[in-house]
Amino acid sequence: MPDNLFPRPEHDHGSCIEHAIGRAHEICAEKSVRLTALRESVLRVLLSSHKALGAYEIIERLQTDGRRLAPISVYRIIDVLLSAGLAHRLESKNAFFACLSEHDSANSMLVLVCDGCYRVAEAEAPDAWGAIKSVTQSSGFAVTETILEIQGTCADCRKTTRPAA
């Protein structure tokens, strides 16, 4: 597991976005999902900051020439991105973020949310999911959905908030 799941502040964000868009085109082709220009625009907004954004924040960022997308249009686009695995919903904030992890299913991922910079990262956690599966199966509980969100402070924010010695 990498030392810092959150991208370094100085990382090449443009390259990061283009890599994710290329991956999105591949995923959509595999799943027979059309990545229209508007869907790609919404995905680019989600990729723009490594933060989870609400639908109205997405609308604001997409607003051009005084024209705004209708909220229902953005929610429909988000539904397509979610079902294709290109984005995830941050349940605690009712917001959405682009998936940068190359995983087949969210059933082994944790979502880490930084309280300082509001960035979101995914981390593989098969042991945590194994424990959940063990408890639910042994009790006969049928899981319909599981979201593991962990809030805290990323390493970058902890470095900037540590008191001077």
Q: CATH no. for residue 34?
A: 1.10.10.10
Residue 136 within any structural domain of the chain: yes
CB 109 within 8 A of CB 97: no
66: region left, alpha or beta (phi > 0 left; psi from -120 to 50 alpha): left
pLDDT on residue 78: 97
CA distances from 163 to 58, 158, 159 (A): 36, 10, 9
> Does 115 lie in the same domain as 56?
no
Domain boundary pick from 45, 80, 98: 98
pLDDT band at 88 (very low <50, low <70, confident <90, very high): very high
> DSSP letter at 86?
S
Residue 35 CA to residue 37 CA, distance in Å, equals 7
C-beta neighbour count of 93 within 10 angstroms: 17
pLDDT on residue 130: 87
Domain that holds residue 129: 106-161
> Does 85 lie in the same domain as 30?
yes
pLDDT at 55 over 60: yes
Give the total number of structural domains in the chain: 2
Residue 88 within any structural domain of the chain: yes
pLDDT on residue 28: 95
Residue 74 CA to residue 42 CA, distance in Å, equals 8
Residue 136 CA to residue 101 CA, distance in Å, equals 26
> Does 120 lie in the same domain as 47?
no
> Does 22 lie in the same domain as 91?
yes
